[in-house]
Structure 1
Amino acid sequence: MGLTIGVIGLGRIGGFHADTLAALPTVEDLVVTDAHPAAIDATTARLSTARAVSDADTLLSAGVDAVVIASATPTHAALIDKAVAAGVPTLCEKPIALSVKDSAEVVHRVADSGVPVHIGYNRRFDPAMAAARASVAAGDLGFITTARSTTLDPAPPPRDYIAASGGIFRDCAVHDFDTLRWLLDDEVVEVYAAGGNQGDPHFAEVGDVDSASVLLTFASGTIGVVSVTRYNGRGYDCRLEVHGSTDSVVAGWDDGTPARNLQPGCGFPGGTPHAFFMDRFAAAYRAELTAFCDTVAGDGSPALCTARDALEVAVIAEAATRSATAHRPVRTDEVRAHHVTAQRQ
């Protein structure tokens, strides 16, 4: 018998996950729900294996083997708690919660539950990025001097999304923070961030920026460089560069890279630029959901992001937010001492 997987939240990414899960050979049935009935109807009309229920509580009591949470960010923490209380293995889209304090409280509550909880950081399953990590782990590059992660969105999300997102460091750059931490198997000790606004004034009105860069100092001495923007008109650009003392590697340079190469006589990249993250990372999402289903079936995947991993990413994002606001470096232990240690006492 195949798995029965629940999906809570059927918006852009939730609907995409439902389609991906329905196509996996290990998945037999889907149980789906959303706060908006139209999203439920669209999913069940599209997928013959999807059965609709009215709410998350009903879904978690419907005999599901696992659940994927893809609802709005403010609902994540409560839904993780409900899934764990029901004993249902969980994959939740990032982040755990909007604040470090709330994220730490969730991690503390689920730590001894025995229920697997993973957070959706799909770049761990991108083949080239995984190969870069393997090269670092094998020592093929010598000691790592610099690791660069880039996320350039082609256009901003809707204004309502921006206002509720928690800001570019918590919403967008967290993917880069997780990628670098996972790539290097190392912890960030200090963060320096700067951001700016040249586009829609709504970003500034809600205390956000539309473009930012972040310098991360890792415990080993490696420097991480993160660049993010909401305005990259040529397409969706996500790349990774790893520079070592003996070799360097890149991931994300393919014919769909949205860049015009001005080097005379060089035609690379020559393909249609990637338009959005779902076409750029379709294979990675499929691999991530496959790994999660394998974990539910008893074959664990070390690449899946744990809740505690995601908490460390939240600490980095909070440090970046503070740094950009105060125009100073911020050590991660400053954030951790204030938000993580205090909630355990």
Structure 2
Amino acid sequence: MRIALAGAGRIGARHAAALSALPEIESVLVADADPRRARELAARVRGARAVDTVGKLFTEGADGLVVTAATDAHAALVGASVTAGMPVFCEKPLASTVNGTFQTVAAARAAGVPVQVGFQRRFDAGYLVARDAVASGRLGWLHTVRSCSFDPAPPPAGYIPTSGGLFRDCVIHDLDSIRFVTGREVVRVMAAGGNKGDEVFRESGDVDTGTALVTLDDGTLCTASATRYNAAGYDVRLEVFGSKDSVVAGLDDQTPVTPLPERDRPAWPAAESYSGFLERFAAAYDAELRAFTDLVAGRRRNPCPPEEALEACYLAEACELSRHEGRVVEIEEVRR
């Protein structure tokens, strides 16, 4: 199997190495808006070969495309791939706006070509066990779900103005995870944000910390919280509480939390805290790429179709609207 990869940045380099390690991958064709970066990545990855332009990825006989380019290029690359009849894996988001996401989903549906979206938490072992616990009835009826995404430090200042904002860029993962694990739909949100860090967030109309109160269609209450300033380390968890039991995904000896009081307790975390998402979700990233190659080969159904990304996009958009207007927002207000 030959897989094309568009985008030779940090996540692109990680995916190229993971793909090349799969026994069925014959070669990885790499392209980037900066041809030099593509060549440098191809030189580091076994079985990889650089091509001069991203457009040439569609003429090299690849079986599938992995999109890890800048966000503003996602919709066009997915559109080109489905037009060419080539299955595509695209890191979230599919597009930078609700309308762009809607149009991309419509194009994929019309073409009948598989598009898998990269919400990697759906492949994390803890999240999968939590989902099974909910589905089996082990937890009873749910009353509370808490999700958090705490970054140890902000991304580069130049990224903030084009990121889409904390809720669209970061909290969207929590919102997707809540839907995925509970199997329920969100009906309304109430979101708020704050700034105590770098002025670049305020100047960009963004926030460095935010929380959304999310109500599911069965009345379950959920919170989704995120911050760019969690110096203890990268902390991503999902806690699910029911009438019979409760579970938590993402709590292990690298989770950067300290139980109190500390006296007479073993040190926690016992190991060095997670440095970031690439380390925390390494196994999940590998699993979602294996799933994509299975999808390309026709061995499995699409584990994260574009319609799921559109639903997450609606929820993030509703959170942004709620934050700006200071009110409860019904999801139907933003749905196309």
User: Normalization by structure 2: what TM-score?
Assistant: 0.97
Q: Tell me the secondary structure at the aligned position of residue 299 of structure 1.
A: coil
Deviations 1:243-302 (A, max 9, x none): 001000011110000122223322243111001110110000001100111111111145
Alignment of 1:292-303 (within 5 A): 292-301=292-301
Alignment of 1:66-85 (within 5 A): 66-85=64-83
Alignment of 1:5-84 (within 5 A): 5-84=3-82
What displacement does 1:108 show? 1.2
Q: Which amino acid aligns with 1:326?
A: E
Q: Which amino acid aligns with 1:55?
A: T
Residue 265 of structure 2: aligned partner:
266
Residue 98 of structure 2: aligned partner:
100
What displacement does 1:37 show? 2.4
Q: Tell me the secondary structure at the aligned position of residue 111 of structure 2.
A: coil
Q: Tell me the secondary structure at the aligned position of residue 21 of structure 1.
A: helix
Partners of 2:132 and 2:58 in 1: CA distance? 37
Report runs of 4+ in structure 1 exceeding 4 Å deviation. none
Q: Tell me the secondary structure at the aligned position of residue 284 of structure 2.
A: helix
Does structure 1 retain, via aligned residues, the 8 Å contact 2:157–2:200?
yes
Q: Does 1:173 align with 2:171?
A: yes
Partners of 1:10 and 1:51 in 2: CA distance? 12
Partners of 1:314 and 1:228 in 2: CA distance? 16
What displacement does 1:306 show? 1.0
Does structure 2 retain, via aligned residues, the 8 Å contact 1:146–1:244?
yes
What displacement does 1:311 show? 0.2
Which of 170, 184, 192 is the aligned partner of 1:186?
Answer: 184
Partners of 1:251 and 1:149 in 2: CA distance? 9
Residue 117 of structure 1: aligned partner:
115
Partners of 2:28 and 2:173 in 1: CA distance? 27
Note the aligned Cα RMSD (angstroms): 1.0
Residue 246 of structure 2: aligned partner:
248
Does structure 1 retain, via aligned residues, the 8 Å contact 2:33–2:54?
no
What displacement does 1:41 show? 2.1
What displacement does 1:155 show? 0.6
Residue 315 of structure 2: aligned partner:
316
User: Normalization by structure 1: what TM-score?
Assistant: 0.95
Q: Does 1:288 align with 2:288?
A: yes
Q: Which amino acid aligns with 2:279?
A: D
Residue 143 of structure 1: aligned partner:
141
Does structure 1 retain, via aligned residues, the 8 Å contact 2:28–2:48?
yes
Query: Where does the alignment leave 5 or more consecutive residues of structure 1 unmatched?
Result: 341-345
Partners of 1:266 and 1:218 in 2: CA distance? 38
Q: Does 1:334 align with 2:327?
A: no
Q: Tell me the secondary structure at the aligned position of residue 305 of structure 1.
A: coil
Does structure 2 retain, via aligned residues, the 8 Å contact 1:91–1:117?
yes
Does structure 2 retain, via aligned residues, the 8 Å contact 1:92–1:119?
yes
Does structure 1 retain, via aligned residues, the 8 Å contact 2:35–2:53?
no
Residue 276 of structure 1: aligned partner:
276
Partners of 2:312 and 2:23 in 1: CA distance? 32
* Bigger Cα displacement from structure 2, 92-101 vs 258-267: 258-267
Partners of 1:54 and 1:224 in 2: CA distance? 47
Residue 228 of structure 2: aligned partner:
230
Alpha-carbon spacing, 1:30–1:312, altered in 2? closer, same or farther (3 Å): same
Does structure 2 retain, via aligned residues, the 8 Å contact 1:170–1:318?
yes
Does structure 2 retain, via aligned residues, the 8 Å contact 1:292–1:301?
no
Does structure 2 retain, via aligned residues, the 8 Å contact 1:61–1:86?
no
What displacement does 1:146 show? 1.0
What displacement does 1:313 show? 0.3
Q: Tell me the secondary structure at the aligned position of residue 262 of structure 1.
A: coil
Residue 157 of structure 1: aligned partner:
155
Percentage of identical aligned residues? 47
Does structure 2 retain, via aligned residues, the 8 Å contact 1:323–1:329?
yes
Residue 129 of structure 2: aligned partner:
131
What displacement does 1:48 show? 3.0
